[in-house]
Amino acid sequence: MNLKNYTKPFEVNGKVFDFHNETIVMGILNVTPDSFSDGGKFNVVESAVIHAKKMVADGARIIDVGGESTRPGHAAVGLEEELSRVIPIIEALSRELDVAISIDTYKAKVAEASIRAGAHIINDVWGARREPAIAEVAARLGVPILLMHNKKETKYTDFWLDVRRDLEESVQIAKDAGVPNHHIWLDPGIGFGKTIHHNILMMQHLSDLVEMGYPVLLGTSRKSIVGKVLDLPVSQRLEGTAATVSFGIMQGCHMMRVHDVKEIVRTVRMMDVLTSKKKYIER
Walk along the chain (283 residues) and give the pLDDT tens digit of each residue: 456 566 567 888 778 888 889 999 999 999 887 444 444 454 589 999 999 999 999 999 999 999 987 765 556 788 999 999 999 999 999 999 999 999 999 999 999 999 999 999 999 999 999 999 999 999 999 999 999 999 999 999 999 999 999 999 999 999 999 999 999 999 999 999 999 999 999 999 999 999 999 999 999 999 999 999 999 999 999 999 999 999 999 999 999 999 999 999 999 999 999 999 999 988 7
Is 279 part of the annotated catalytic residue set?
no
Is 223 part of the annotated catalytic residue set?
yes
Choose the catalytic residue: 85, 223, 237, 277. Answer: 223
Ramachandran angles phi, psi of 155, nearest 5°: -115, 125
Question: CA nearest 96: which of 46, 149, 145?
Answer: 46
Question: CA nearest 244: which of 214, 259, 262, 264?
Answer: 264
Question: CA nearest 170: which of 106, 89, 248?
Answer: 106
Choose the catalytic residue: 61, 85, 222, 257. Answer: 257
Torsion angle, CA of 168/169/170/172, rounded to 10 degrees?
A: 80
